[in-house]
Chains A and B, each alone.
Chain A
Amino acid sequence: EPEVTQTPSHQVTQMGQEVILRCVPISNHLYFYWYRQILGQKVEFLVSFYNNEISEKSEIFDDQFSVERPDGSNFTLKIRSTKLEDSAMYFCASSTIGFAGAYQETQYFGPGTRLLVL
């Protein structure tokens, strides 16, 4: 069964450093998402991406974050200058379509990247 994959599974970085989290969405999916889960808290939406541009972003997704689809298979989240509070599990998700009206819009999640900022 196709699945979303993410690398690395764990990343430790120093405050102020840049990190890139990588995701390979399910191959026929067109919408891509990043969510994060700070330890002990809810899973929070960060950003959605379609047709090579951001379609929606939350207030968490400020200028230090960016997303990119550098090729036909990868989807990345870059954090430019990491802060201690960026420590979280970051989940990538993908769906066939993004709008209401059909079952295909269900989002499938990857296993997550656990980011620790020291």
Chain B
Amino acid sequence: GEDVEQSLFLSVREGDSSVINCTYTDSSSTYLYWYKQEPGAGLQLLTYIFSNMDMKQDQRLTVLLNKKDKHLSLRIADTQTGDSAIYFCAEKYDSSASKIIFGSGTRLSIRP
């Protein structure tokens, strides 16, 4: 079946690292994405990783992929108040030319 699971909430102190976790079910996923949604706004693509990669780093963002456990994580270093948002994990299959399957989203809140 197609399913992407995430915890619903994460609270971190400003300046600390945030780690948002995600599990997915389909081993044929080709691309795994992280999208960010700020209040009232659309979905902003943050980063993506191919299924043949273990890690991808992009400035403050680090994506780790464990294909064996079907586990994806997003680490945000030096978390700032502007990072407050909902973060969606998403996957895209080989078997589908089209659709992206989204998780429920993790709401990240930043404490001073």
Contact = CB atoms under 8 A, between A and B. Distances in A.
Genuine A/B complex: yes
Interface string A47-64: 010000001101000000
Contacts of B97: 48, 55-56, 98-100
Contacts of A6: 42
Interface residues of B, number: 25
A6 B42 CA distance: 10
Interface residues of A, number: 27
B101 to A, nearest CB: 7
A106 B48 contact: yes
A73 B35 CA distance: 25
Interface in B46-99: 48, 88, 90, 92-94, 96-99
B30 to A, nearest CB: 4
Contacts of B41: 111-112
A31 interface: yes
Contacts of A110: 42
Interface of B: 30-31, 33, 35, 41-45, 48, 88, 90, 92-94, 96-105
